[in-house]
Amino acid sequence: MFSFELLLDAVVLGLLLGCFYAAVSIGLSVSFGLLDVPHVAHPAFLVLASYGTYFLSEYGIDPIIAGLLLTPVFFVLGLGMYRLYYETFEKRGSDAGVRGIAFFFGIAFIIEVAIILLFGVDQRSVQAPYIGKSIDILSLRIPLRLVVAFIVALLLTLILTLYLSRTFTGRTIRAVAQDADALRLMGANPIATKQWAFGIATGVLGIAGALLIIVQPVEPTLDRAYIGRTFCVVVMAGLGSMSGTLLAGLILGVAESIVLTLYGASWAPAISFAMLLAVLAVRPQGLFGR
């Protein structure tokens, strides 16, 4: 009943999926991991970007191009979000606690309902030449859409990692995460830096949202499943670790894929949440933490 081939199949699919998970989580790795913003609405923005992609694709625009077009829009959206969050919570002192979390929870719900009101509750998907086809490698049959998502996700993760480690702004962002006061002494503006970083974290969701709707059909409440996946990846990675995000994404992807193969789809949604709970309980600093 259980074959080595089936397992290999699951592992390969899991690796492709895992890279995609890393791509949808990497924004959160910046906003929550580096900036300490309790961004529960991250997956809601992700799904919003998927619907944006869907909307543009109705005009015949390729989903990936649509994702790229959405990126600047989401970047600006992110700038605005951070400003609001900063003015409301961080500026008034450390008491964001309960209200900061509630704030993003509320935002997530508003986005969900806005999507329902605009697009309805039905599933939506996009058309593209690479969706629906598959390629055969050795004995494995791999959906082409996963391969496309894999490549774009890998590029996205790589570019963001390089940006944060090699460019001046990127390093400033990392510095602000460690010690905002020291940064202020060096003449940089920590608030502007954080706002910029939050913008980038939200901007990459443009492409991530396009990948999501390429990988699977979306519905307005899909963000709930991705709360588990994205937070699982970011926490497992160790807050703010970009290379860790990729590794954690791969681990989650393979785990989900194997459980899906062995036990069926009804158990799959719980995997990311169970792993998240386990990591939080046993090793809260993450597997690859700083």
In this structure, is the dihedral angle defined by the CA atoms of residues 106, 215, 243 and 225, taken in order, positive or negative?
Answer: positive
* Cβ-based burial of 179 (10 A; exposed 0-12, middle 13-18, buried ≥19): exposed
* Least distance CB 69 / another protein (angstroms): 27
Helix ranges restricted to H, the chain? 4-28, 42-57, 63-85, 97-119, 144-166, 168-178, 180-185, 190-215, 223-237, 242-263, 268-282
Measured CA to CA in angstroms, residue 223 lies from 58, 208, 235, 244, 279 at distances of 22, 13, 18, 23, 21
- Say how many Å lie between the first and final Cα of the chain, rounded: 42
Stretch that binds another protein, among 51-59, 71-79, 227-235, 241-249 (CB under 8 A): 227-235
**232-261 footprint of another protein as x/- string (CB under 8 A):** ---x--------------------------
For another protein, the binding residues in 109-168 under the rule CB under 8 A are 109-110, 112-114, 116-117
Distance CA 19, CA 249 (A): 6
Residue 72 or 97 with smaller CB distance to another protein = 97
Q: Which lies closer to another protein via its Cβ, residue 184 or residue 224?
A: 224
Is residue 267 within the footprint of another protein (CB under 8 A)? Answer: yes
Q: Which is nearer to another protein, 127 or 267 (CB)?
A: 267
Find the part of the chain contacting another protein (CB under 8 A) among 10-18, 51-59, 91-99, 179-187.
Answer: 91-99
Cα Rg for the chain, rounded, in angstroms? Answer: 19
The mark string for 37-56 relative to another protein (x by CB under 8 A, - otherwise) is -x-x----------------
Query: Under the rule (CB under 8 A), what is the footprint of another protein?
Result: 32, 38, 40, 84, 88, 95, 97-99, 101-103, 105-110, 112-114, 116-117, 221, 224, 227-228, 231, 235, 266-267, 269-270, 273-274, 276-277, 280-281, 284
